[in-house]
Structure 1
Amino acid sequence: MCSDKNWSADEEHSSKLVRKARESPFVPIGMAGFLGVVAYGLYKLKSRGDTKMSIHLIHMRVRAQGFVVGAMTLGVMYSMYTEYFVPKEPGEK
């Protein structure tokens, strides 16, 4: 039995993904950036020169993680901005 109040048996996975993306738009941006960095790193794998494979993969992982951490940081900053600095209407929480 699921204790999540937002869960609905009629809600499909695609509509749930769209709803979650609207609630926190930086999550799909972070995921897309991660996949982009990994795809670019794999594409550049053949022209890495005389760099060791392990060093190339470590650099690719650090870049991908950096993109995700940056997207998460921007998301937190955006949510803090909307929560604390944007004036709210009198009827809102």
Structure 2
Amino acid sequence: MSAFEEDESKLVRKCKENPFVPVGMAGFFGIVAYRLWKLKSRGDTKMSVHLIHMRVAAQGFVVGAMTLGVIYSMYRDFFAKPSEEQSPTQTK
């Protein structure tokens, strides 16, 4: 297996383990594309201020997606699994 195939399967595996990874990536690229498209109609706003707003919006979306991903994995690890683990021990 080549390094490219290994990296590709690792990305797919990570996306399946945590579905918020592709959501965060899509949101980041969507916000950046939208803000770059709106660049021509920014009015008298300085370029640096516009770029800072774009960066803050994109980072905010990614941090929100990461937070939801952590909450989802905590739910899956601590609330969903204990019920699965308790059923075999109850039969003993």
- State the TM bucket, normalised to the shorter chain: 0.7 to 0.9
Measure how far apart 1:14 and its partner are: 3.2
Identity %: 71
Partner Cα separation in structure 2 for residue 16 and residue 84 of structure 1 = 25
CA deviation string 1:3-52 (max 9, x = no partner): xxxxxx36814333222210111111111110000000000000001111
Q: How many residues align?
A: 83
Which residue of structure 2 aligns with residue 77 of structure 1? 71
- Higher share in helix: 2
| Shift >2 Å, 4+ stretches | 13-17
Q: Partners of 1:53 and 1:61 in 2: how far apart?
A: 12
Gapped regions of structure 2 (runs ≥ 5): none
1:16 pairs with 2:15: no
Alignment of 1:1-93 (within 5 A): 9=1, 12=5, 13-86=7-80, 87-89=83-85, 90=87
Distance 2:22 2:10 in 1: 13
How far 1:56 sits from its partner (Å)? 0.4
Superposed CA RMSD in Å reads: 1.7
